[in-house]
């Protein structure tokens, strides 16, 4: 019986340090996959001894991955635990590992921005800026130190939490717990990504369907408004009360589509891209195709 292969603290620290450069090779095709693989290399070298096993591990981690760079740490921790169990002979396949990654990255991506970019960093920046404005050189130094202490401490703690949690998951492989978590994580991840389609995908058809002249009293009479700030205030009040800005009401094709089913065209475009990906069409070709369609559509007045 061979000895169990286990990642020690030094190995996990090496992974955590490398994860600092997660976005160092960000790309439009698979986004953070290069930085993810770079982070996993110390663990892969420790867990797998043959060139074939290491190559296979690197290949499965080159799949698409994208989340907040600091919230990738708990995903890394769970993945380290899964890879460790796999290296020791447990029934953890590529689908299970990728399913957990995809399922976790979606929900966590929406947590990082409000916590770090919109809360922690502005607070620390305001503290450092207040000191710097008074001529104190400690301001920028304090910001740099506090930001990196908080960032690094969070990344290390959450990676360790993910590693311990992942180990507990793999303890119950025979009971099908991993399969249930993989399925649930995949469903949750797809749900979150689908909910973001309306926010991330935008298409507007410009062709005018109809132009209707409004009756007097249905639009703002700009000539009757007083000059200056008072006129602006009255105009804003009239807009809030439902008056149109101009005498003509222009209805575009996009307005009709929005009244029918809001977000229908972005959803259909997303499904088209998914279908093309399933047909093994390169994401780069899809991106270039979207650029071409967008430019041509704008030139001819369609988009």
pLDDT at 107 over 50: yes
For range 167-179, the mean pLDDT: 57
Residues 195-243 pLDDT 10s: 667 777 788 888 877 777 777 777 777 777 787 777 777 777 777 777 7
Q: Is 25 helix (H, G, I), strand (E, B) or coil?
A: coil
Q: Are 37 and 61 in contact (CB under 8 A)?
A: yes
Instruction: Count the residues in the chain.
Output: 303
Averaged pLDDT, 85-98? 84
> Among all chains, which residue has been given the structure tokens 């603290």?
9
CB-CB contact of 101 with 75 (8 Å): yes
Output the pLDDT for position 185.
59
Q: What distance in Å separates the CA atoms of residue 288 and residue 293, rounded to the nearest whole number? A: 9
**pLDDT exceeds cutoff 60 at 178:** no
pLDDT exceeds 70 at position 76: yes
**Mean pLDDT in residue range 4-11:** 90
Q: Is 27 helix (H, G, I), strand (E, B) or coil?
A: strand
Q: Does residue 43 have a pLDDT over 90?
A: yes
Residue 169 is predicted with a pLDDT of 61
Q: Is 255 exposed, middle or buried (0-12, 13-18, 19+ CB in 10 A)?
A: middle
Token output for 281: 């069409």
Q: Mean of the pLDDT values across residues 239-254?
A: 75
Buried b (16+ CB within 10 A) or exposed e, 132-154: beeeeeebeebbeeebeeebeeb
97 Rama class: left (phi>0) / alpha (psi -120 to 50) / beta: alpha
- Helix ranges, 171-252 (H): 177-195, 197-200, 229-240
Which residue bears the tokens 């978590």? 181
Average pLDDT score over the chain: 83
Which token pair is 211? Answer: 């132009």
Task: Look at 107-116, 155-164, 185-194, 204-213 and tell me which has the smallest mean pLDDT.
Answer: 185-194
Helix (H, G, I), strand (E, B) or coil at 209: strand
Q: What is the pTM of this model?
A: 0.65
DSSP per residue, 96-136:
HHHHHHHHHHHHHHHHHIIIIIIIIHHHHHHHHHHHHHTT-
**Rounded mean pLDDT, 255-266:** 79
Q: What average pLDDT score do residues 86-114 get?
A: 81
> Of 186-190, 215-219, 248-252, which gets the smallest average pLDDT?
186-190
Q: For helices 72-87 and 94-112, give the axis angle rounded to 10 degrees.
A: 170
């Amino acid at each position: 019986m061979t000895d169990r292969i286990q990642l020690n603290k030094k190995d996990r620290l090496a992974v955590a340090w490398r994860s600092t450069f997660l976005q160092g090779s960000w790309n439009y095709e698979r986004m953070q996959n290069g930085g993810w693989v770079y982070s996993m290399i110390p663990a892969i070298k420790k867990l797998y001894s043959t060139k074939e096993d290491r190559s296979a591990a690197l290949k499965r981690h080159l799949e698409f991955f994208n989340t907040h760079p600091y919230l990738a740490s708990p995903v890394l921790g769970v993945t380290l635990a899964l890879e460790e169990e796999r290296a020791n002979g447990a029934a953890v396949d590529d689908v299970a590992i990728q399913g957990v990654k995809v399922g976790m990255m979606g929900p966590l991506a929406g947590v990082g921005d409000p916590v770090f970019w919109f809360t922690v960093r502005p607070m620390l920046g305001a503290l450092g800026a207040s000191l710097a404005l008074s001529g104190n050189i400690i301001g920028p130094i304090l910001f740099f130190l506090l930001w990196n202490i908080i960032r690094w401490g969070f990344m290390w703690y959450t990676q360790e939490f993910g590693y311990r949690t992942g180990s507990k998951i793999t303890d119950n492989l025979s009971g099908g717990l991993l399969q249930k978590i993989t399925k649930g994580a995949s469903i949750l991840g797809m749900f979150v990504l689908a909910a973001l389609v309306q926010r991330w995908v935008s298409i507007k058809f410009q062709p005018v369907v109809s132009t209707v002249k409004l009756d007097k009293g249905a639009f703002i009479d700009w000539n009757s408004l007083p000059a200056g700030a008072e006129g602006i205030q009255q105009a804003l009040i009239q807009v809030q009360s439902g008056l149109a800005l101009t005498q003509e009401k222009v209805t575009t094709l996009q307005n009709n589509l929005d009244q029918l089913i809001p977000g229908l065209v972005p959803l259909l475009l997303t499904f088209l891209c998914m279908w093309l990906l399933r047909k093994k069409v390169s994401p780069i070709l899809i991106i270039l195709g979207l650029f071409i369609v967008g430019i041509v559509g704008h030139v001819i007045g369609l988009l």
